[in-house]
Amino acid sequence: MTTKVDPWADIQGKVDYDKLIKEFGTEKLDKHLIERLESDAKKKGMTLHHLIRRGIFFSHRDLKWILAEYDKGNKFFLYTGRGSSGEVHLGHIVPWMVTKWLQDVYGVELWFQITDDEKFLFKPELTLEESNRLAHENALDVLAVGFDPKRTKVFIDTEFAGTMYPIAIRIAKKLNFTTAKAVFGFTNEHNVGAIFYTTMQSVPCVLPSVIAGRNIPCLIPYAIDQDAHFRVTRDILPKLGYYKPAALHCRFLPPLTGPGKMSTTGSAKDSTIFMSDDPKTVRKKVMKYAFSGGKDTVEEHRKHGGDTTVDMAFQWLTYFEPDDEKLLDIKRRYEAGDLLSGELKQILVDTIVPILLEHQKRRGEARKAIGDCLIKDNKWNG
């Protein structure tokens, strides 16, 4: 079975990332580029982000070009986003962690889009009121990741449409239904707002350029499922006189229960770790749901050791334990049978709980900072 990877698919099963590079026509993030990123980090007294080092960020478009522009003094801006259909979970913050790292390394602006319109248009049961309420809640989670508030602009589509719509229709004029259908798999049953929506997701790629009145390069870190939008964007923007946006792609954080993409619909919600979960809840979820690569009995496990390639607690540690030495040590001990599954799960709990607590603390503080970061139109009001 081929796993379908597009912006609205419920992704299940193992994803073949090398195949996606070919299918989507992206480039592998190679040794030279990684070294370049590492050297830039060093200049700021930082180290290479472990999500890049470990290949969780695995693919890109035009990253080499955007760094060459940076060297020439043509600084880029970062753009990423969030669809507001529910609470933010650990899977969502994976691309944001590296986005923050890039902001710190390159000292650049971040434009962060929250697409309350998209989620309303694509989720039959979701009201716009609820999608917008979630957008404001999610905005706090964005800031809690630790972005520099002075260099970060957050905007919610339905509150920024006065600025966005005139740009969106310029993009829309270059995109016919045949192409939209081919790229996104639309049928004639899709609503006309959903069909139009992708142009709203293209807008932030050029918005800073439109405002500044000059062409500014754009780098978008995102999970690979969003790539369809930006393939379209990259086709159209040069026709309007703008740069193609560069991209940096990451894998999904697989669900605790096994391969695929984390989801918050149906029963999958039970095993999802939300940024608001308390330590007790985290422990309960990890212990109950994390798919184990351990053996059936303690005796067998001690003798043969566990399988880290399928063990989700270990897989998650590759996302959230930045220390390579420590991770390698855990791997060795688990594969040797020294570490039991329950002990490995406890290590995961001990690793992510501080991340969540720190997030929750910063999220509380974000209520003050959000006023400076959230940009919106002033609608006419009678």
Residues near a second copy, by CB under 8 A: 117, 120-121, 128, 155, 158-166, 168-170, 172-178, 180-181, 186-196, 198-199, 211, 375-382
Tell me the closest approach of the beta carbon of residue 148 to a second copy, in angstroms: 18
- Closer by beta carbon to a second copy, 122 or else 334: 122
Tell me the closest approach of the beta carbon of residue 162 to a second copy, in angstroms: 3
Q: Are strands 246-250 and 218-223 parallel, antiparallel or unpaired?
A: parallel
Sequence-distant (6+) residues with CB within 8 A of 237 are 171, 202, 205, 206, 243, 244, 245
Tell me the closest approach of the beta carbon of residue 155 to a second copy, in angstroms: 8
Bridge partners of 89, per DSSP, are 274
Burial of 246: CB neighbours in 10 Å, binned 0-12, 13-18, 19+: buried
Tell me the closest approach of the beta carbon of residue 132 to a second copy, in angstroms: 8
- Closer by beta carbon to a second copy, 177 or else 302: 177
3-state secondary structure of 249: strand
Contact 292, 348 (CB under 8 A): no
| Measured distance CA(234)–CA(243) in Å, rounded | 8
- Closer by beta carbon to a second copy, 170 or else 251: 170
- Closer by beta carbon to a second copy, 65 or else 186: 186
Q: How far is CA 11 from CA 92, 255, 258, 260, 313, in A?
A: 14, 11, 12, 6, 20
Query: Please, where are the H alpha helices in 203-260?
Result: 207-212, 227-236
- Closer by beta carbon to a second copy, 39 or else 191: 191
| Measured distance CA(308)–CA(286) in Å, rounded | 16
Tell me the closest approach of the beta carbon of residue 161 to a second copy, in angstroms: 4
- Closer by beta carbon to a second copy, 128 or else 328: 128
Tell me the closest approach of the beta carbon of residue 80 to a second copy, in angstroms: 19
